[in-house]
Structure 1
Amino acid sequence: MDPIIALDFEDLETTQAFLAQFDPTTPLFVKVGMELFYREGPAVIKKLRMQRPVNIFLDLKLHDIPHTVEKAAYQLGRLGIQLTTVHAVGGSAMLEAAKAGLLAGAADANVQAPKLLAITHLTSSTPAMLRTELSITTPLPQAVQHLAAVAQAAGVDGVVASAQEVPLIRAVTASDFLIITPGIRPAHTALGDQKRVVTPKQAHELGSSGIVVGRPITQASDPIAAYQQIKAEWSDHQ
């Protein structure tokens, strides 16, 4: 899986201008998050595909009662995307409802159903925040491991987690369970608001299935060179 570029832009125009820097015949894997999707709506998926071949990770992090999540996931399943997300802390019933909604939506639209990823704990989370603000006394790595096991048991295809927790997740999940890792920063780059970060090489060595990279590419002075460097570091270890 190629590195997933996080398209954290405010509108379609800015997003397309960024993507126009890349060879239009080169397939890319991109992440569409809340900001862009809420601004442009579901039509953004079709519009991105008009410009170039893309696989799309739609990262909306659904979290609500099971019925509401199932209905929302049904709509997402119709879009022909490749990956999407829910929060693991919503519990097994919500995770199962999300999976059912995606499958039903994809079937009705006659498209392949996206893989469902559960968010464990965000890479901006810290042990102190979990302990003092959420009253979670379980150590962060073990809390992530537990949520991954819950997600797999609920039929979810994988999780989003820091690469630092990948070995723990691998210990309690199947070999084909996806572990997609954000918080990727090449050496000598700013961390921003990420707390639990690794390099592309380290992510591979720890067992990540795929990596998500945003600002080190989108805010680079030469985004294509930055992408190629990250892709090479990641792919050289595949």
Structure 2
Amino acid sequence: MSKINRPRFDNPLFVAIDTIDVQRAASLAKAVAASAGGIKLGLEFFMANGIDGVHRVRAAAPDLPLFLDLKFHDIPNTVAGAVRAVAPLAPALLTIHASGGPAMIKAAREAAAEAALRLGIDRAPAVVAVTVLTSMDDTDLMSVGQRGPASDQVLRLTDTALAHGAAGIVCAPTELVRLRARFGAQPLMVVPGIRPADAARGDQKRVMTPADARAGGADVLVVGRPITDAADPAQAAAEIAAEIAAAAELTGAA
């Protein structure tokens, strides 16, 4: 197996820009650029604006890494083709669903590496596998026929993802300590469900503060509405970045 692409980010704060308005997305990216470590564009944005829309947002914050959160989940050949299709955008991170299985995970990683080589991109997109969505809890898992508790399903899916070439996983912050104990420091841990103590949870069910998630071993902290819905997104991003940095100093996190 070729070496797994495992990027490291000096600033772990990625701002989730979840809107279909490309002008608003670009404005938000520009506003948070001084404090964020990256931006995340997801399915909602991509379906409305496509590759051209991604280029427009990146132009507003050209120095920020891109997390393209499209959560591919299909047969291996189709997922490989989808990875090749978005590779020219040079995302630092690209998501698939771990539940797609070993062959799909392997196909996604190989397609990312091959596309980067063909396009002359310095670093291939790091493929990270979504385990259990942070909007789901044990009851939700049971309703779709999966064994709970959610933390056990996350562990099973992480085993599969890492064994077949994923650079890391997407998990709820509440699972970080258990995952780090099992898999060590190497896998990339991408964590949504980040909420400052005074923020509303919204549709997230397994959440944690930025400082606690960083202290627990998160490499990438994905924060959306507490920043993008704030009266001053730039200030909100700066405050959360400061909280994360303070937590890193206290724990000695890199």
TM-score by length of 1: 0.94
Distance 1:229 1:155, change over 3 A: same
Task: Measure the CA separation in 2 of the matches of 1:11 and 1:104.
Answer: 32
Q: 2:51 and 2:192 mapped to 1: Cα distance?
A: 23
CA contact (8 A) 2:95 2:129 kept: yes
* 1:200-226 CA distance string (max 9 Å, x none): 011012111110000000001111111
CA RMSD of aligned residues (A): 1.6
1:124 corresponding residue in structure 2: 135
Aligned twin of 1:86? 96
Give, in whole Å, the separation in 2 of the partners of 1:196 and 1:233. 20
Alignment pair present for 1:183 and 2:171: no
Q: Does 1:36 align with 2:45?
A: yes
The partner residue of 2:59 within 50, 53, 56 is 50
| 1:76 match | 86
For the residue of structure 1 that corresponds to 2:65, the secondary structure is strand
Map residues 92-171 of structure 1 onto 2, 5 A cutoff: 92-111=102-121, 112-131=123-142, 133-171=143-181
Which stretch has the larger CA shift, 63-72 or 40-49?
40-49
Q: Is the 2:27–2:60 Cα contact (8 Å) retained in structure 1?
A: no
- Structure 2 counterpart of 1:9: 19
SS of the equivalent of 1:78 reads helix
The CA deviation at 1:161 is 0.4
Question: 1:19 and 2:29 equivalent?
Answer: yes
Alpha-carbon contact 1:76-1:102 (below 8 Å) kept: no
2:197/2:209 contact within 8 Å kept: yes
CA contact (8 A) 1:185 1:216 kept: yes
CA distance in 2, matches of 1:124, 1:192: 9
Moved more, 212-221 or 45-54: 45-54
Matched-pair contact (CA < 8 Å) for 1:55–1:82: yes
Whether the 8 Å contact between 2:26 and 2:56 is mirrored in structure 1 is no
| Equivalent of 1:173 in 179, 183, 189 | 183
Q: CA deviation at 1:156?
A: 0.4
Q: List alignment gaps of at least 5 residues for structure 2.
A: 1-8, 249-254
Q: Distance in 1 between matches of 2:113 and 2:240?
A: 33
Supply the distance in 2 between the matched residues of 1:14 and 1:80 (Cα, whole angstroms).
22
For 2:176 and 2:41, the matched residues in 1 are separated by 23
Q: Distance in 1 between matches of 2:68 and 2:192?
A: 14
Return the TM-score normalized by structure 2.
Answer: 0.88
Moved more, 46-55 or 219-228: 46-55
Deviations 1:171-194 (A, max 9, x none): 332422100100000011111000
Once the two structures are aligned, what percentage of the paired residues are identical? 36
Unaligned runs of 5+ in 1: none
Q: Distance in 2 between matches of 1:48 and 1:162?
A: 27
- Bigger drift between 48-57 and 208-217 goes to 48-57
Q: What is the identity, as a one-letter code, of the residue corresponding to 1:192?
A: G
Amino acid at match of 2:131: T
8 Å contact 2:191–2:221 — kept in the other structure?
Answer: yes
Q: Is the 8 A contact 1:123 1:161 kept in 2?
A: yes
